[in-house]
Structure 1
Amino acid sequence: MNTYIIIDDEPIAHEIIEEYCNMLPHLKLEKNCYNAKEAILFLNENTIDFMFLDINMPKLSGLDFLRTLTNPPKVIITTAYEEFALEGFDLSVNDYLLKPFSFDRLMKAINKVITNDNHSPKKEGITEVDSSSRKQKFFVKGDKKHYYIDANEILFIEAYGNYTKLFLKNEMIISNEKISYYEIFLKSKNFIRTHKSFIVPLDKIRLIEGNRIQIENHSIPIGLTYKSTISKLYNN
């Protein structure tokens, strides 16, 4: 379960974020904070995975509040002011959402924070195995549903027009994202593009023969453009 808080002086902002997050499994709202002081008091006593943080708040702005934290949780900025984006990223925020934002855009931001725990505080009682397992999980939107999948379960990904097919061990999911999205998103998880229409996980490759890659009982093509990249896997 990934825990979060919302820090924003506008009640409507809380309602929108809560409504979106309630559509996603494995997210738990721990606290609604309407100013920085409330958030400081809560964080002094509690540990969370990430927070939604507004910038323009009375007395203490969101960015000034962030500077007061010595070990902050992961941060998704939610604001109507794009001019603070550079300053926000200088403070190592994980994403920057401009209001009004869509559900899809918020979901991509959440994918970033739950698959990258470089800035995540250690939680008592959670082992490294648990943390590593959570790092590999992310949300996929498809067929009006939101799947929470483990990257370790993916056998390969195939382009499907403006969509993609994610072939897992026990099912196939059609995602609303293009294959170019997954090429970037999964690169850090040891996935590699083998063809204009295919991405595979390196640890699932059983053998490479000619212009084909074998993964379980699936034969994946190697495109001419990607052949030199693939050959580097076994010609070191």
Structure 2
Amino acid sequence: MIKYLIIDDEYVAHGIIKRYCDLLPNMKLMKHCYDALEAFEYLNTHEVDLIFLDLNMPKLKGFDFLKTLSSPPKVIVTTAYKEYALEGYELNIVDYLLKPFGFERFLKAVNKAVTSTSKTTSSDNIQLKIKENSIFLKSNKKYTQVLLCNITYLESAGNYVKVITTNETITVREKITDLLAVMANDDFIQVHKSFAVAKKHIKSIEGNRILIADKIIPIGTMYKTNITQLLK
């Protein structure tokens, strides 16, 4: 279960974020906070996995509040002010949502927050805890939740990517590089301009070819270094 906090002085923003979160499984709202001081008091006695943080608030601004936290959880900034984006990334926020944002853009941010957790193992920090590492994929106006461990490889076709899993193929309108960035998982490597593979599903590597199940995947010249590092 992903426990989250909304920190925003606008009631409308709270409603939009909660409505979007209600469409996703395993998302639990812990508290509505309408200024940063209220959130600071709550976090003194409670832990959350994810914060949706506005910047322009009374009493204490969003980034000033974030700097007061010694071990902040994952943070997705939600703001109408794009000029603060650079400062946000310097504070290691997960994503920067510019208001007004739609559900699809919101979903990408949440996916980044969920998948980036696998890279952090320190028990001293509050981490985003999920029982299963998964991603939502949009295809034909439908969102399908897919476990990352079930994805065998990705195959690019123009502006689309085929996501091949152990039991189905889902085609999404994404570039392969963008999808890999959202997945943000070290278990996947790009081996060709049109292919990325899951390391755990590689059956064999021979010459310039990778075998996954019954699929032969080419290794591009520019990506041979990735394979060399894998075999070390």
TM range (shorter): 0.7 to 0.9
Deviations 1:129-182 (A, max 9, x none): x95864x42222223222332221111111233221111112222223222213
Matching residue of 1:232: 228
Query: Do 1:24 and 1:146's aligned partners in 2 also have CA atoms closer than 8 Å?
Result: no
List aligned pairs for 1:141-152, cutoff 5 A. 141-152=138-149
- Distance of 1:25 and 1:72 partners within structure 2: 23
Deviations 1:83-132 (A, max 9, x none): 22232223222221111122222222112211223388447xxxxxx958
**RMSD (Å), alpha carbons:** 2.6
Deviations 1:67-98 (A, max 9, x none): 22222211111111122223222322222111
> Cα distance, 1:234 vs. partner?
7.6
Matching residue of 2:97: 97
Query: Do 1:213 and 1:219's aligned partners in 2 also have CA atoms closer than 8 Å?
Result: yes
List aligned pairs for 1:122-161, cutoff 5 A. 122=126, 134=132, 136-161=133-158
> Cα distance, 1:54 vs. partner?
0.5
Change (3 A) 1:156 1:2: same
- The total of aligned residue pairs comes to 228
Deviates more, 1:18-27 or 1:162-171: 18-27
Change (3 A) 1:79 1:229: same
1:102 partner letter: G
- Distance of 2:138 and 2:56 partners within structure 1: 31
1:65 partner letter: F
Change (3 A) 1:30 1:190: same
- Distance of 2:79 and 2:227 partners within structure 1: 46
Q: 1:220 aligns with which of 194, 217, 221?
A: 217
Query: Do 2:135 and 2:183's aligned partners in 1 also have CA atoms closer than 8 Å?
Result: no
Matching residue of 1:204: 201
> Cα distance, 1:184 vs. partner?
3.6
List aligned pairs for 1:34-73, cutoff 5 A. 34-73=34-73
Query: Do 2:4 and 2:50's aligned partners in 1 also have CA atoms closer than 8 Å?
Result: yes
Gap regions ≥5 residues in structure 2: none
1:15 partner letter: G
Runs of 4 or more, structure 1, over 6 Å off, are none
Identity of aligned residues (%): 47
1:203 partner letter: K
- Distance of 1:164 and 1:195 partners within structure 2: 13
Query: Do 2:4 and 2:27's aligned partners in 1 also have CA atoms closer than 8 Å?
Result: yes
